[in-house]
Structure 1
Amino acid sequence: MALIGSVLLFVFFTVNVAIGAFGGNAPLGDVGEMLVLLAASTVFVAAILKKEADRNSETDS
């Protein structure tokens, strides 16, 4: 579930940057883009750490 959230946040970030790059009025400014990218990265890292913990708990049992 967290990986899906990370992908959605990253897609939103990418679309926002693409809109701004093609001369449109991007919905988010620089700080907003940074916060969305930070959130995407944080959720991704949390998802990977959870999957690793689940894998390690399966091998320990």
Structure 2
Amino acid sequence: MFLIVAAVLFAVFVINVSIGSFGGTPFFGNVGEMILLLAVSIAFTATILKKEAIKRAGK
């Protein structure tokens, strides 16, 4: 679940950067991009921690 959230948020980030690099007006500014990447890293970290907990419980 969290991995899907991280992937979707990262896709939004990539789309935003692509729009900005092709001369359009991106819908997030610098602070918005920073917050978006923070959310991606939190969701990814939650996924890794959850998988590690499942792995340890199985031992």
| TM-score range for the pair, normalised by the shorter chain length | over 0.9
Note the 1:3-14 alignment, pairs <5 A. Answer: 3-14=3-14
Identity %: 51
TM-score w.r.t. length of structure 2: 0.97
Q: 1:12-46 deviations in whole A, cap 9, x for unaligned?
A: 00100110011001000000000001100111011
Q: Count the aligned residue pairs.
A: 59
The runs of 4+ residues in structure 1 deviating greater than 6 Å are none
TM-score (norm 1): 0.94
Structure 1: stretches of 5+ with no match in the other structure:
none
Unaligned runs of 5+ in 2: none
- Which structure is larger by alpha-carbon Rg, 1 or 2? 1
